[in-house]
Each structure stands twice: as structure tokens, then as C-alpha cells.
Structure 1
Amino acid sequence: MTPDLPPAVTAYLRAATRLLPPGTRRPAQAELHANLHQAMLDHLTAGKAEPDAWAAALREFGPAWVTALGLARTHTLPLLLRLFLTAGVLGGAASALWTHNLAAPPAHEVRP
């Protein structure tokens, strides 16, 4: 991020990436900043002054908490899904091994 960002943009970037794991927070902030900057440039070419263009770009992106939830879903859901699938596979394998070792031999009936 550039140091000459308006405080509202910096606050938006921090709030929008607050729910992300630390390792993905900075790349997500950089990508979000690039998209916000492009939206600001679009408003500049439409004839708005730079402060108004930044404000319009922020309005266009919506509330930071909505963006934060979307980013969290995108960046954390695949990890959680992998964890649950791994736990299910390991739990199923452990259950199969455990029940296999404790299985009683089949009973034989003698019929007349």
C-alpha cells in the first residue's frame, strides 16, 4: 500500500481484512487496494476530484464488514473444508480398524 492513501481507505483495508489469517492478510490487502485504486481512477476519469473519487470507490465496494465476510469465506473455507475432510477420513479409518480388531468370531449353530 502507498503511504499517501486517505485515512478512510486505510481504515477500510484494515477492516475488510481483519478476519483473515495473518499469512493471507497482506496479499488480500494489496489486491483489494488495487481494485479500489482502479475504481477510484474510473471515477477520476468521470470528472470527480480525487477525494470524491476515493469516497465514491469506497461506496461502490460497500461496507467493510460485508467485504470482510466475503474475503474470509474465500480465504478460510477451503482450509476448513480440507480439515473436516481429513478428520472424517482419519476418523473413518480409525473406526474401521478399531471395530475390525474387536470383532467377535461368527457363532455356529448346530441344527438337527
Structure 2
Amino acid sequence: MFISYQTHEGIIMTVKSFIEATRYLLQQGVPYVLSNVFCQDPLEEHFGRHRGLGTRHDNPTIHQFGYQENQLRIQRSLAFNFVPKGNTAGRAGEKRPIVITNSPLKRLKHN
């Protein structure tokens, strides 16, 4: 008894990819590589969007996948770049340090 062929191939591919990614990072001057900081959440989110398109196919062909990928790209390119404008961010994207004091607040004038 052993794991399925597909799972075995997936483990081999994952290990080889991790080794190559680690070699690349070390060659680029990274002093060490921690495997627990590799995150696949963005990848899972992307393929979740593919599943969420509502197609009937569990195993899409390369053409169907490419069509879905183009749909997602167009959606991202048409999406608005939202920059929050509140009293904490200052000008668009400017980050101000938060200063906490014990001084009393200024009284507001009532009209």
C-alpha cells in the first residue's frame, strides 16, 4: 500500500521545486531560507477564482484554462485602484506615525 501515483508525483515535484527555489535564493545572496515562510495562499486564491467562475468542467483543457485566465486578467485590469482616503492615511498613500499622548482633547465649538 502506498499513496496514489498523482500524490507521489506531486510530492516529488514539490521537493524538486523547493530545492531549486532554495538554490536560486542562496545564489542571489539570501543568507538562509526558512521553509515555513513560503506561502501558497495567493496561489490558492487564484485557482479558487478559476473554480468560482462557475464552469462545469472539473478538469479544463488548456484552451478553457487560458480563456478563464484571460477573463480574470481583464477583470483585474478593469478594477479600480482603491486608495482609502481617511483621517489616518493623510495624502494618498502617505503613512504618518501614530502619536499617542495623555493630553486632553480640544473642545469643539457648538453652533
TM-score, with normalisation over the residues of structure 2? 0.31
Larger % of helix: which? 1
Higher CA-based Rg: 1
Could you state the TM-score of these two structures normalised by the residue count of structure 1?
A: 0.31
Higher RCO, 1 or 2 (CA under 8 Å, sep at least 6)?
Answer: 1
